[in-house]
Each structure stands twice: as structure tokens, then as C-alpha cells.
Structure 1
């Protein structure tokens, strides 16, 4: 399964995520601070 590194634009938290978690984060925001994020905040690993 594809892995991504997520870097929050607000709290700078870095988290390795899979596709379902990436989609949830895009819908609901950063899991740490709740900031809105876009696909540019994910880097495919």
C-alpha cells in the first residue's frame, strides 16, 4: 500500500500515513491540531 509523509502546515507535525488515513486527513484536517490541509501537504514515499 502506498505510504505518504504528512507535514502539517500549522503545527509542523510529521506523520507517515497510508492512503485511507491520507483521505481522512484531507477530509477532517490534521489529526493533531485540526488544521485544514491539502494534497500538497503529503509527500509520497
Structure 2
């Protein structure tokens, strides 16, 4: 399963998420501040949790 590093462009909240959580964030917005987010808020990560 793919993992992504999510960083909210509004409040800066950051968390590593799987593809299902990524889709939910794209639909519902940031869980912390509610800001709408686009695909630019996500960076693919490798198995060690670092950006690729």
C-alpha cells in the first residue's frame, strides 16, 4: 500500500497517511483546521517514511 506525507497548506499539520486516508483528506479537507486540500499537499514516501 502506498504511503504519503500530508502537510496542510493552511495550518501546517503534518502526518503520514495511507492511500485511503489520502482520499478522505482530499474529500473532507484537513482534519485539524478543515481547510480544503489538493494533491500538492501530499508527497509520496518510501518504506522508511522519507520522501521519494
TM-score (norm 2): 0.84
RMSD of aligned Cα (Å): 0.4
| Structure with larger RCO (C-alpha < 8 A, sep 6+) | 1
Which structure has the larger Rg? Answer: 2
Aligned length: 45
Normalising by the residue count of structure 1, what TM-score does the alignment of the two structures yield?
A: 0.96
Runs of 4+ aligned residues of structure 1 deviating over 2 Å after TM superposition are none
